[in-house]
A and B are shown apart, each in its own frame.
Chain A
């Protein structure tokens, strides 16, 4: 009546092992504008899993509050990332014979095949997070879209992602404690991949590896679709722990040595260069060859990519991906990680940041997941049903009191 425009304030929350990142975005007909951000150091999260609910709530609510303050508005709904060693996936197909006499595939056939694929029961305590469409097979031929094509048998392939009910519930209830509902949960790797990899790279095949502090998340794209996802229980913390044990220094000093002198590949000069172990020149401080640090970190990096290669070998096969490997996440900042990945996986690897249209200060690899979440949220707002709900003034008012 008054020419009101559709507008929604959405939040993206990434509860990581090292930090909680929150972005607030304003979605309207013109697109997405990031209007607020908040970050807090994470507590109570180990390897992506919640181990202390209260501490996680404190850290998350602090970051959400900071983000709302910087935006000057309150969030209406939240998109939450999900990672952790409990997250697993499996491939499954749904099949259906074509019902029509003339063999033309209808929407009902496709819907039925999709539902058949999603019907597989999980063990107790497990919940589905995603059903990722992998593609269609019409009479065993791969097709982009089977609708209105002729055939006898339709298969729809999915990659199903599921996780531990308690762990997923913990994340949801942390957000609920702030007075908001979780609109959707998105796997961290899918969120990162959606923003890091371009459409061309996804079409030609690309592996996005997000090295976080507690876990390493990966997503493999082929033919423009998510083909595999996974979470490795290895992250930046393991590199630091290795240094701490190997050099017999505490975690804080090990983290400093990793940040200041760490590399994942050995160079000739490393043997000559010496670094101070504690760096404060106090009694007990001594010089050690940089080579010692590099050797420890290199071994861990090689192991990380070797595990990744083993996990992906059933789907990767002998062919390298044309799009190569894109490294992101805080762990990818360690110099030499690209070389290590290139050697272990046998394909081109490079560090990758968010695209140029993302604000300069948010292009760091640590933000890839949370920006991907927001991007997902914006896309979800574009769907007709979401717009229908969003435009309802009653739901906005009732949402205000939640």
Chain B
């Protein structure tokens, strides 16, 4: 909105919108009465016209097709002098200028805003985009960015390697303007195959599972999440009801945590309980924690024997 003004119908305090507009309290002037009469006459005429058209629909369609014309509506059109850019993420005006080839100087009505939107959407980091004309002479570009769930290190075109990021919908993209801290906080993915098609990396399947796990861990258990380095899909089976399907998380301490694909809230709650319990007992390091069973199974680094404990289950 141009005024940055917010109106809300849910507002509990009284707004002018409470005034009933169908109120009897009207002064209908002769001018208004005449106008309404004209409305009714036109409506009647319209109904008659529809009836006539219905009876001669075939002829009308033929006539319409044979007399089809393009009507050009002209109006004052000012050259585009600039643009505004809004995002919920990290892209910026520099990106918009470089990637979208903004048609500065083109008359605003001649700008193909749909083409600009498609150009924005072709960039993997952009999830959705809206391009609008801001009269008289500006374009508005508003984008919503994908959030990184996992990252991967893949061979770069010119040799060496480079990091790419994977969103919840499996889209693989370069994280434009991502800070070093952000890049480092995103775990790597393992156990998946990258395929190229038409010069682009094909979106990975089943990434929504890891996204759900990472989202709960990142928001609810940041102390646990900060040690996660790799999310491994090697043992993941997308078949419904698969008995052995797990996501494996490898931590910075060399430990391994296995999650069943579902109800990550409960599994992470159990994991937090395991850490809290072991912290009290002084057993801080572990080799493996399997949360895919009803009760968590923990294999400690201190001994060669697997120790099974029950924390009450889920």
Contact = CB atoms under 8 A, between A and B. Distances in A.
A25 B287 CA distance: 72
B76 A101 contact: no
A120 B15 CA distance: 11
A1 B71 CA distance: 18
B127 to A, nearest CB: 14
A149 B21 CA distance: 42
A355 B136 contact: yes
A127 B17 CA distance: 9
A379 B136 CA distance: 12
Contacts of A32: 135
Given A121-B13, A148-B88, A194-B2, A131 B7 contact: yes
A84 to B, nearest CB: 13
A177 B27 contact: yes
A394 to B, nearest CB: 14
Given A31-B75, A173-B26, A177-B32, A128 B19 contact: no
Question: Chain B at the A interface: mostly helix, strand, loop or mixed?
Answer: loop
A366 to B, nearest CB: 21
A58 B6 contact: no
Contacts of B32: 57, 61, 177-179
Nearest to A170: B25
B14 A127 contact: yes
Interface string A128-140: 1111110000000
Given A31-B109, A147-B88, A133 B4 contact: yes
A115 B11 contact: yes
B18 A182 contact: no
Contact of A190 (B3, B31, B78): B3
Nearest to A100: B219
Contacts of A128: 11, 13-16
Given A115-B10, A133-B5, A102 B218 contact: yes
A180 B6 CA distance: 24
B43 interface: yes
Contacts of B4: 132-133, 224-226
A88 interface: no
Interface string B213-233: 000001110100000000000
Contact of A127 (B16, B78, B135, B219): B16
A62 interface: yes
B87 to A, nearest CB: 10
Contacts of B22: 176
A231 B109 CA distance: 37
A96 to B, nearest CB: 15
A115 B40 CA distance: 43
B106 to A, nearest CB: 15
A181 interface: yes
B280 interface: no
Given A31-B109, A178-B32, A376 B2 contact: yes
Interface residues of A, number: 71
Contacts of A172: 16, 19, 21
Contact of A357 (B1, B13, B136): B136
Nearest to B7: A131
A357 B3 contact: no
Which of A58, A122, A176, A355 has the most CB atoms of chain B within a 10 A radius of its CB? A176
A168 interface: yes
Nearest to B34: A65
A218 interface: no
B36 interface: yes
A285 B29 CA distance: 42
Interface in B78-128: 78, 86, 88-89, 109
Contacts of A355: 136
A57 B7 contact: no
A242 interface: no
A185 interface: yes
B23 A173 contact: yes
B136 A62 contact: no
B11 A400 contact: no
Interface string A96-119: 000011101000000000110011
B8 A177 contact: no
Given A57-B32, A182-B21, 5 more contacts: A31-B135, A118-B8, A131-B6, A132-B4, A357-B76
27 contacts: A54-B27, A61-B32, A74-B39, A101-B222, A115-B8, A126-B14, A127-B15, A127-B19, A129-B16, A130-B3, A130-B5, A131-B5, A131-B11, A132-B3, A132-B4, A132-B6, A145-B86, A148-B88, A158-B6, A165-B14, A173-B25, A177-B26, A179-B39, A226-B5, A357-B76, A357-B137, A401-B43
Interface of A: 28, 30-33, 53-54, 57-58, 61-62, 64-65, 68, 74, 100-102, 104, 114-115, 118-122, 126-133, 145, 147-148, 158, 163, 165, 168-169, 172-174, 176-179, 181-182, 184-186, 190, 194, 199, 224-226, 355, 357, 375-376, 378-380, 382-383, 400-401
Interface of B: 1-8, 10-16, 18-19, 21-23, 25-29, 31-32, 35-36, 39-40, 42-43, 73, 75-76, 78, 86, 88-89, 109, 132-133, 135-138, 218-220, 222
